[in-house]
Every structure is written in structure tokens, then in C-alpha cells.
Amino acid sequence: MEKELMIDGMKCNGCVATVQEKFSAIAGVEEVIVDLEGKKATVKMNQDIAEATFNEALADTKFKVTGSK
């Protein structure tokens, strides 16, 4: 299962690393590929994970999930 999440607030490779680390820590996430230029993250999961869960993972950062595909 795969989900593409639009991420607001990413400006550098450090931002990419933070988003990748936060999303990778969520139970059920198998792989995270963050695209700085496209301002999105592609997440491979072994179960469906709500968009709200990804926003909760980013709660202590300046980033926010603004939508998904």
C-alpha cells in the first residue's frame, strides 16, 4: 500500500531528513521517500494509516501534511 502526502514547510535537506525520520517511526510504515522539490513524501505501508497520524508525527516540527493522493 502506498500513499503520497503533500508536505508544507520543507526548505532544505535537513527538512527532508526530519520528515523521513518522523514518518519512519510510525508503526506500519515500511519506506519513506521525501521529494524536497515536489514538496511531497511517498510512503509505503503494510496497513492503511490515516493522514492525521502523519500530522501527529510532525506535531513538534514546522511541517504539515496538506493533502494526500
Q: Are 40 and 6 in contact (CB under 8 A)?
A: yes
Averaged pLDDT for residues 49-53: 96
User: Strand 40-45 to strand 29-35: parallel, antiparallel, or no bridges (unpaired)?
Assistant: antiparallel
Averaged pLDDT for residues 5-30: 98
User: What's the domain range around 9?
Assistant: 2-68
Q: Is the pLDDT of residue 48 over 90?
A: yes
Averaged pLDDT for residues 38-55: 97
Q: Is the pLDDT of residue 69 over 90?
A: no
Our count of domains for the chain comes to 1
| Closest-CA residue to 4 (of 62, 66, 68) | 68
- CATH number of the domain at 48, please: 3.30.70.100
Confidence of residue 33 (pLDDT cuts 50, 70, 90): very high
For the CA atoms of 13, 54, 51, 7, what is the dihedral angle to 10 degrees? -20
Averaged pLDDT for residues 33-44: 98
pTM for this structure?
A: 0.95
